[in-house]
Structures are given as structure tokens and as C-alpha cells.
Structure 1
Amino acid sequence: MKRREALKNVALLLGGTVIGGSAFVAGCQSDRKKESQSDKSLFSEKDIEFMNEIGEVIIPTTDTPGAKAAEVGSFMAIMVTDCYDEEQRKTFVNGLNKMKNNFSAEYGHFFEEAKLDERTDYLNTLELEVETYYRQKKTEDPEHFYRMLKELTLLGYFTSEVGATQALNYIQTPGSYKACIPYEEGEKAWAIA
């Protein structure tokens, strides 16, 4: 099974709860009629590295590899380019650029050069902004960029080989069916592929 098919199936299992879920159900519209040149270069290598660094703050390396090891930046670039509609892509790209500029203006240097406490403080500020945004959001308002980024970070990490085999307990299937698996508090969740 290809990764794109697996993601489509995951979205169906989750009931399309991921932002852009309708795009998954439609098959990640990779055969869009007129793919513009700008879509192909929506994200630069520097943008992808920036998204990796943000992902690493969200899912840091501990006793298991973090989001950067799973290359969530590349995953996000593919998902936004291939699976999001024009409005969602615009929201994501504009939000990413705004985040870069606001961080630099507030701290006087780039996010990639910042210490972990600065990065964490900034992302915590965005968390509060997201809470406020969704309390006041109207149905026609777009999704908040940071929420989209966090959801893509989680999806990209836990569907990657690194996340599924090292951060989660992993049992390759097909295998025997076990309807009830004992769970000890603090134990990793299970990943089945």
C-alpha cells in the first residue's frame, strides 16, 4: 500500500476529522486539471526546514525520535500542495510566512536560530491565539494556520515509519487478531499497519 492510500484510509477511519479531510476522501486530487508552476514550488527547502523545526518543538526528541527525524516538513509540503484546496493552501502559506516574520520581529532572530524556551513561548502564544480564534470563528471563516500545522505534524509523525515503529508499539499485520490487549498506564499506544 502506498503512503497516499494509507493516509486516505486513515482519514476515512478518523471520519475525515483532519483539516482537508474532504480532499483525502476525493483521493488527494493529485490529478488537478491545471497544476500551476507555483504549486510545484509552493515550499522552498528553507520552508520545509522551518516546518521541521516547528514540528520538533511540538513533538521533541526524547527517548524516541522527534518530528524532525520523521521529516514532517516534507510531509506537510506534500499534503498542503497535493491535498488542500486553494483557500486552505493560501491560509497555510500565509500563516507560515506570518509566523516567520512575527517571530523575527519579536525575538530579533530567526526561529531556526532560537533557543528552545523562545520557540516554546512563541508556540504557546499561538496556542492561546488559536483558542481565541475558534471561540469567535464563524462557519465561513478559514481554519487557523497553526491548528492546520499541528494536525499535519501529528498525522505526519504518527504515520511515518519513525513514529509508527518507535513512538508507538508496532505489530506488523497480518497477524493474529487480539480483541483485547492489556494496557498498563504510561505504556505507549498501539500502531497497527
Structure 2
Amino acid sequence: MMNRRALLRQASWLAGATLTAPTLVGLLQSCAREDPLDWEPQYFTPDEARFVTAYVDTLLPRTDTPGGLDVNVHVFIDRVMGVNSPAGDTPSPMQAGILEFDDGARTKYGKAFYELDESQRGELFIAAENLAPRYQPQVWGTAVGEQPPVGFYRSLKSMAQWAYLSSETIGTEVLNYDPVPGAYNGCIPLDSVGGRSWSL
């Protein structure tokens, strides 16, 4: 038979658990809703910036080389858009594309794109990759034949890849780096360059 002291102790634990449970649930929910945006966009709205951050992380994840977020591709896109897009009340094609892509994520999964897990984002990327028009082959930077509009997904993908490959970290630490023109050496032995002077 339980004595009065043990009964009071269990009752106090039960009361304490009852009072603290909503607090703990609220704390867990607030952690789940924690804003993943850790940079301040200059062009995008916070939700658009979250989308771009998630897009870049999905396209260029960190592996044995730095990811897109490691070299601030998302911030670069925000700054480029800010410089090249006129301010106004009408959303730019980039902003309209973000909204449409995000709406597709909500329709399929019931969540914004940045809230999806890696496999769900990957499925949306595969679908967009299959549907988006491709760039025409190019000769010296000029498209062969008429280039149809490639749409939002491929435009943002191209911008993200350009930003990634143009970053100093990737250019010097991941890719081979051969600066042209190289360093100027005004006085070197001729035999150090094969016995012949440079033509240029």
C-alpha cells in the first residue's frame, strides 16, 4: 500500500508534467519553425531568399568540394538581381518563377520548397529538368539556330552554376588556375623558355 508521502510526490510530478507539457511542446514547435535564413537579402523578399538558398543547396550541395552556399552563390544571385532588375510593384520574371515553382512544391507536398527534404526537392528538380527547354549548342558564345526561352528553372540553374564556377574559392582551390596573362619576368635566361623568345 502506498503511503501518503509517496502519493504526494507522484501527484506533484503529475501536476508538474501537466503544467510543463504545453511549454515543452511550444518549445519544440518553435525550434521546428526556426527561420533558416542566415543572411540579409537586398533584392529578394525573405521567402524568396529562402527559396533561392534551398535551390542553390539542392543544385550545388557540399560534397568533398565546397557547396554553393559555402561560396555564397545565393548571396551573389541576390546582388546581381538587385543591380540588374528595376525596382517596381510588378514582380520580375525571376520572382514570378520563384512563386510558380514554390506553388508547385506546395501543391505536390503541402510545403514550401525550402521546407522539403532532400529527396522531395530532388524529385521537383528532375521534373523541371525534363520539362525545361535546353540551351542550343553554341559556337564562340553564339547559339546555333534560334534559342527558345529556357524558362525560370534553367535560367536560375545557369546563373547559379556561373556564380559557383566564377567564385575565387572554386577557381583557385578546386579548378586548375592558370592566370592569363601570367606574371611578367623581364629578365630570364633564354634557355629557361626553350631557347626561343615568346612571340607575344
How many residues align? The count is 132
Question: Which residue number in structure 2 is paired with residue 146 of structure 1?
Answer: 153
TM alignment of 1:20-169, pairs within 5 A: 42-84=43-85, 90-131=92-133, 142-169=149-176
The separation in 2 between residues aligned to 1:52 and 1:162, in whole angstroms, is: 19
Task: Tell me by how many angstroms 1:105 deviates.
Answer: 1.6
SS at match of 1:169: coil
How far is 1:110 from its partner?
2.2
Percent identity over the alignment is 26
1:170-189 pair list within 5 angstroms: 170-171=177-178, 175=182
Cα distance between partner residues in 1 of 2:51 and 2:169: 20
Gapped regions of structure 1 (runs ≥ 5): 1-39, 178-193
Q: 1:128 to 1:74 in 2, by over 3 A?
A: same
Cα 1:145–1:47 change in 2 (3 A) is same
1-structure distance, mates of 2:122, 2:134: 19
For residues 144-181 of structure 1, give each alpha carbon's deviation from its aligned partner in whole angstroms, at most 9, with x where no partner exists.
1111101110111111123223331334566359xxxx
Question: Contact conserved, 1:53 with 1:68, CA < 8 A, in 2?
Answer: no
For normalisation by structure 2, the TM-score amounts to: 0.55
| 8 Å Cα contact 2:43-2:79 kept in structure 1 | no
Per the alignment, in what secondary structure is the counterpart of residue 170 of structure 1?
Answer: coil
Q: Which has the higher contact order (CA 8 A, sep 6+)?
A: 1
Distance between the aligned counterparts of 1:156 and 1:59, measured in 2?
Answer: 11
Q: Which structure has the bigger radius of gyration? A: 2
Question: CA 1:133–1:154 in structure 2 vs 1: closer, same or farther (change >3 Å)?
Answer: closer
TM-score, normalised by the number of residues in structure 1: 0.57
**Hey, which bits of structure 1, 4+ residues long, moved more than 6 A?**
none
Q: Which amino acid aligns with 1:157?
A: Y
What are structure 2's unaligned runs of at least 5 residues?
1-40, 137-145, 185-200
